[in-house]
């Protein structure tokens, strides 16, 4: 199987930091993506990891540990507009992609 697990919901306060975790089965792994999806809209790309370590992009960072089958998305200085679903997606050797069910983040004032 290619199970991808992430928490269903999270809540955080404006200005704070939140970490969204994602675990996946490691066999055939060929890259991990994070997408953001606002309600009623299509997903949009946030970050990509294929090697171990941290990738930073402005307020967003993504971390990968291939041996542990683990990634997280870190959002700093949260803003109200960051309220959205965050989707962890894994690309496999066949070049197909599978998505986790998504984590719905609510940012409160």
Partner 1 sequence: DVKVTQSSRYLVKRTGEKVFLECVQDMDHENMFWYRQDPGLGLRLIYFSYDVKMKEKGDIPEGYSVSREKKERFSLILESASTNQTSMYLCASSLYPRDHDNEQFFGPGTRLTVL
CB of 98 to partner 1, least distance (A): 6
Q: Which is nearer to partner 1, 8 or 109 (CB)?
A: 8
Say if strands 84-92 and 29-37 run parallel, antiparallel, or are unpaired: antiparallel
Q: Looking at 1-109, which runs of residues are DSSP E strands?
A: 4-5, 9-13, 18-24, 29-37, 44-49, 53-57, 60-65, 70-75, 84-92, 97-99, 103-108
Q: Which is nearer to partner 1, 43 or 69 (CB)?
A: 43
Which residues of this chain interact with partner 1, rule CB under 8 A?
8, 30-31, 33, 41-45, 48, 50, 87, 89, 91, 93-102
Six token digits for residue 68: 């542990």
Q: Which is nearer to partner 1, 15 or 28 (CB)?
A: 28
């Amino acid at each position: 199987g290619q199970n991808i697990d992430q928490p269903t919901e999270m809540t955080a306060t404006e200005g704070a930091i939140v970490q969204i975790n994602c675990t996946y089965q490691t066999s055939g792994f060929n890259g991990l993506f994070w997408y953001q999806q606002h309600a009623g809209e299509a997903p949009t790309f946030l970050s990509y990891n294929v090697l171990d370590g941290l990738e930073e992009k402005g307020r967003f960072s993504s971390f990968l540990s291939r041996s542990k089958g683990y990634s997280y998305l870190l959002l700093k200085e949260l803003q109200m507009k960051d309220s959205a679903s965050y989707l962890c997606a894994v690309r496999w050797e066949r070049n197909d992609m599978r998505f986790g069910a998504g984590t719905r983040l609510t940012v409160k004032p």
